[in-house]
Amino acid sequence: MEPSTDPNNSNNAVANPNVHHHCMDMEAEITAPEVHKVVAPPPRTTLQKLKSRLKETFFPDDPLRQFEGQPRGKRFILGAQYVFPILQWGPHYSLQLFKSDIVAGLTIASLAIPQGISYAKLASLPPIVGLYSSFAPPLVYAVLGSSRDLAVGPVSIASLLMGSMLRQEVSPTKQPLLFLQLAFSSTFFAGLFQASLGFLRLGFIIDFLSKATLIGFMAGAAIIVSLQQLKSLLGIVHFTPQMGLVPVLSSVFHQTNEWSWQTILMGVCFLGLLLLARHVSMRRPRLFWISAGAPLLSVILSTLVVFAFKAQHHGISIIGKLQEGLNPPSWDMLHFHGSYLGLVMKTGLITGIISLTEGIAVGRTFAALKNYQVDGNKEMIAIGLMNIVGSSTSCYVTTGAFSRSAVNHNAGAKTAVSNIVMSITVMVTLLFLMPLFQYTPNVVLGAIIVTAVIGLIDVPAAYAIWKIDKFDFVVMLCAFFGVLFISVQDGLAIAVGISIFKILLQITRPKTVMLGNIPGTDLYRNLHQYKEAIRISGFLILSIEASINFTNTTYLKERISRWIDEYEAEDVKKQSCLRYVILELSAVSAIDTSGVSFFNDLRLALEKKNIELVLVNPLGEVMEKLQKADEGNDLLRQDSLYLSVGEAVASLSSSLKPAARV
């Protein structure tokens, strides 16, 4: 009975297997139980296998699918659209869309300007670099990026990381020019590294930062960043250059004489204002503009207050004079050799990965909300090129910022034009409004940073992790406390190391479970999970739940021999005897040469005990390798290889009968 492909008939086709099956069973009762053969997949050459493996590894999303079967001209257009997504949406751009984008763009600009200044200070860079970084990179991203919601610019975590890593070797106060050069060079390497990852389709590297790691890391970093703000919030002049929880707190409480009550008062007021605005917007997402506008409002208000009361003479530190004008070129400031090359490459690598992770995650989050695709590798190239361009136009590391992207999305951004609007607004600021920031107090910038990073501490997510997976929770805690007490980059490294170790441990110690028959079916399931499942006397049915490779063959040998010993110890009481060990291999997706010897060794060991080894449902690759290795011995004899446990048990127990009668 061939399945019908006629859609009108599809219900029948679906119901067929059952009917068909039923007929077969009828026959099966008359003759011997029916057995289906296990076959290997059709043979392929090594080259074909390598090709399909490489495709699965580097092009799982098959980005060139759309080009197939298209005429040449169309292919060229599709190719250009693939490289420059602006060509995709640009032609259809309308006034309607522009109206939405201009509102969103102005909103995020009002957030980007104070945050840019603040984050640059966090990275120990001149405040104006933060504004430069909000001007050039968004323009690049608008052309190359495929996310419609990402608002790009400097972000807190990358700023913190870059500042803290560079400060380990160079002092930003004693050698400001060198520090700036190193920051630009690190940005260049970050961009180069990001673009290469995307170009080489190695985007999966960022997947090794698990959600648990990131939550712990972000929370730790948020606290470190907030602690750094105690300098401006309390008005301390001689602050420790270290980042850890202990040195910062000890520095704060040893310098109580430097605390300035005017600064503290101002800080508390504006921090309260900003937190209130944040709270309101979180409660009512439609009021997003309150928290979006609050930072700029605070800057304006506080600047007016300082200006009016001449507060800079009363212990409140201010930004000071800022240079007017657009980004100066900086390609002659990049270090490609010399003694700091290692430092800038390392800094670029780590800030590059972290900012990439944030940018991609944010892009994917909003793409999922609006139901469009973001190609991770393409985004990496876009973010990477943006940073390479940035590094030669006086910008430091930028990426898609979570808070600003959320505001962008809520404000109704439709395309990357909102980034262009933001960029132009920042340009106008750079050209004409810089003198206005002269009296902006540093304390308000500190308050803005604290408000921005406080959202990175995600307690509900941490609780959910605790509930679902205790090990992930431990990983999270390691990242968190590592960042707090050791250092930002070491905390991250420890958490990643532990996560990978966990996976290796899972492979080294794969689960083996005993299966039993679910009454009334042909199904065999875990006896521990399904209490109604029953053991079949004379059979030990084990399921191996992982690939078999060199890391676990020794373990599997020991574990299976323990299963057999335990089974036999029970059998002695019951006076029955073990005849067959059935290995259900449905979950063994791959084996290597050690895995192949494992089966041979096991078969020999069982033979000595007069027990037969039966394999059930080896998957394609496993079957293929067993077949190749099986010239000469008989691991794959017809009576020791079945397609399902049910068939194996039925067939073997029917052959048991005559033996029992003899």
Shortest Å distance, C-beta 216 to a second copy: 12
Nearer to a second copy (CB atom), residue 286 or residue 573: 573
The answer to whether the Cα torsion of 330, 336, 339, 340 is positive or negative is positive
Cβ proximity of 400 and 112 under 8 Å: no
CB of 198 to a second copy, least distance (A): 14
Quick one: 255 or 653, whose CB is closer to a second copy? 653
**Minimal distance in Å, beta carbon 82 to a second copy?**
16
Contact between 584 and 543 under an 8 Å Cβ cutoff? The reply is yes
- Name which of 53 and 310 has its Cβ closer to a second copy: 53
In angstroms, give the least distance from the CB of 105 to a second copy.
28
3-state secondary structure 554-605: HHHHHHHHHHHHHHHHHHHHHCCCCCEEEEECCCCCCECHHHHHHHHHHHHH
- Going by C-alpha positions, the residue among 323, 316, 645 that lies closest to residue 513 is 645
Q: Going by C-beta distance under 8 Å and a sequence separation of 6 or more, which residues neighbour residue 565?
A: none
Q: To the nearest whole angstrom, how small is the minimum distance from the Cβ of residue 575 to a second copy?
A: 5
In the bound state with a second copy, the residue whose beta carbon lies nearer, of 208 and 485, is 208
Give the integer Cα–Cα distance in Å for 166 and 335. 13
**Residue nearer to a second copy on the CB measure, 254 or 528:** 528
- Specify whether the CB–CB gap between 381 and 113 falls below 8 A: no
**Identity at 294, one-letter amino acid code:** A
Q: Which is nearer to a second copy, 67 or 261 (CB)?
A: 67
Least distance to a second copy, CB of residue 615, Å: 15
**Shorter beta-carbon distance to a second copy: residue 435 or 519:** 519
CB of 171 to a second copy, least distance (A): 32
**String of b and e for 474-484 (b: at least 16 CB within 10 Å)?**
bbbbbbbbbbb
**Closer residue to a second copy (CB): 182 or 215:** 215
**Buried-exposed string 386-397: b where 16+ CB fall within 10 A, e elsewhere:** bbbbbbbbbbbb
**For a second copy, the closer CB: 255 or 586:** 586
Virtual torsion, Cα 543, 547, 550, 554, nearest 10 deg: -10
For residues 484 and 604, what is the distance between their CA atoms, to the nearest angstrom? 55
**CB closer to a second copy out of 469 and 634:** 469
SS3 of residue 400 by DSSP: strand
Query: Is the CB of residue 317 less than 8 Å from the CB of residue 263?
Result: yes
Residues forming beta bridges with residue 584, ordered by sequence position = 543, 616
What CA–CA distance (Å, rounded) separates 261 from 236? 11
Minimum distance from CB of 23 to a second copy (Å)? 8
CA torsion through residues 234, 237, 238, 239, sign = positive
CA separation for the pair 372, 375 (Å, rounded): 10
Using the minimum distance from each CB to a second copy, give the nearer residue, 125 or 556: 556
In the complex, the smallest distance separating the C-beta of residue 368 from a second copy, rounded to whole angstroms, is 7
First to last CA, the chain: 41
Strand partners, 548: 591
Nearer to a second copy by Cβ, of 431 and 503: the residue is 503
Task: Report d(CA 412, CA 102) in Å as an integer.
Answer: 9
Based on CB atoms, which residue is closest to a second copy, 68 or 332? 68
* Shortest spacing between CB 619 and a second copy, in angstroms: 7
Question: Is the CB of 49 or the CB of 314 nearer to a second copy?
Answer: 49
Q: Both tokens of residue 578?
A: 């073990």
Token digits of residue 617 = 């449902």
d(CA 172, CA 474): 36
The nearest distance, CB 477 to a second copy, in angstroms, is 14
Dihedral class, residue 310 (left if φ above 0, else alpha if ψ from -120 to 50, else beta):
left
Strands 641-642 and 512-517, by their bridges, are unpaired
Encoded amino acid at 233, one letter: L
CB of 517 to a second copy, least distance (A): 5
d(CA 105, CA 420): 7
Closest distance to a second copy from the beta carbon of 279 (Å): 24
Spatial distance between the Cα atoms of 212 and 154, rounded to a whole number of angstroms: 24
Q: Least CB distance from residue 494 to a second copy, whole Å?
A: 16
Closest contact distance (angstroms) between CB of 93 and a second copy is 25
- 641: helix, coil or strand? strand
The smaller minimum CB distance to a second copy, of residues 258 and 545, is found at: 545
**Amino acid in position 201:** R
